[in-house]
Structure formats: C-alpha cells, structure tokens
Amino acid sequence: MKKRSILAASIAFSISLLSGCAVDLPLIMLTETTYEQAASNRFVSINRTAIDSLIKDFDVKSLEDTPVLVSTIVNINDTRKSTPLGRTLSEMYSSYLSKTGFNVREIKLRGDLFVKEETGELLLSREVKDIAKNHRAKHVLVGTYSPAASVTYVSLKFIRTEDGRIIRSFDYALPNDRDVNKLLQAS
C-alpha cells in the first residue's frame, strides 16, 4: 500500500512539473494569426502612412503621367544587397503609390534592367539617371533601412532624376518585432 502511495505521489509530482513547463511556453505558439488580425496589421499601415507623409501636398498631375520608379530599399551598411525587408517595403511603396495616382513602372519586368538574384532591382545613385532616362521617369523613390537594437530606421527620398535633387523625404522607424526580424534575415 505504501508503494502505491509513493508511486501515485511521484506521478502527481511529475505531472505538476510537466504542466508547469507548459505554462512557460510562449502564447504565440498556441495561437495562429487570424484573417482579422492580418487585415489590421500595423506593418502595412505604418508603411502606407510613411508614403502618405512623403507625398503630402505633392501635385501628381505635374508628372503628366510620366513613370515613377521605386528602387529596392537597401541596408545602409551594405547598399549592394537587400533582404526580404527591403524588397517587401519596395513592393508596398510601389502598390500604394500606384493606388494614390502615380504612374509606377514595374521595372522588374523590363528586360533592359539587370535584376540580380536575391538583391532585387537596386538603383544606386550612379545608375539612377540612365535607368530613369530609359524609362522616361522624372522621379525615383529610393531608400535605406538601418537595423538597431529595438527598431529599424527607414529613410525615404523622392528624387528628381534630371538633377538628382531630393524633393521629398521622410524618416520613420519599424519595431524590431518577430516579423521585422524575420524579414531582416537574408534569404
């Protein structure tokens, strides 16, 4: 009888230890993101707000329907490479600029622009003028990001291609949450 009591106590103790471990598991592992949560994602809205701030009071009609190019947003510490974060930001900026009335040219589909695998379509300052001329673009959106301890700083510049003048700029920060950290990893 005493052996059964010891065995029962041992089992109860083991179960309490195991259940204590389960409490320490991150809650995120126990739930999935819902469609409603995805639809209200702050990452999307903060990037749209950045574009809204960048183009505030900009006369889109002054462009006379000439194309605007959007470069891949690059890491300030290595402008020759991009990460999924830079490419995702560029895609979001392109689609939102188009939605607001800009004639955004999809340069990835053009055969005359070299797109390096894993880096995206990088528009470095020495290339901007030639590429813009080939696409008849008067403006190019360029940008950099800089990962720090708790946030990633993003700097956007809307550049007039004929003289390289920055006509608009906007800076903001993204929190280094789980999604941003994942996008910062080179693919």
CATH of the domain at 47: 3.40.50.10610
Q: What is the pLDDT of residues 19-67, one digit of tens each?
A: 555 444 455 555 788 999 888 889 999 999 999 999 999 888 888 788 9
Total domains in the fold of the chain? 1
What's the pTM? 0.74
Domain-located, residue 3: no
Domain-located, residue 106: yes
Domain-located, residue 4: no
Beta bridge partners of 81: none
Residue 134 identity? N
Residue 41 identity? N
Q: What does each of the 187 residues of the chain score in pLDDT, given as a tens digit? A: 566 666 555 665 555 555 555 444 455 555 788 999 888 889 999 999 999 999 999 888 888 788 999 988 989 888 777 789 999 999 999 999 999 999 998 876 444 444 444 444 545 455 666 777 777 888 889 999 999 999 999 999 998 888 888 999 999 999 999 999 999 987 6
Domain-located, residue 1: no
Domain-located, residue 29: no
Residue 76 domain boundaries: 43-184
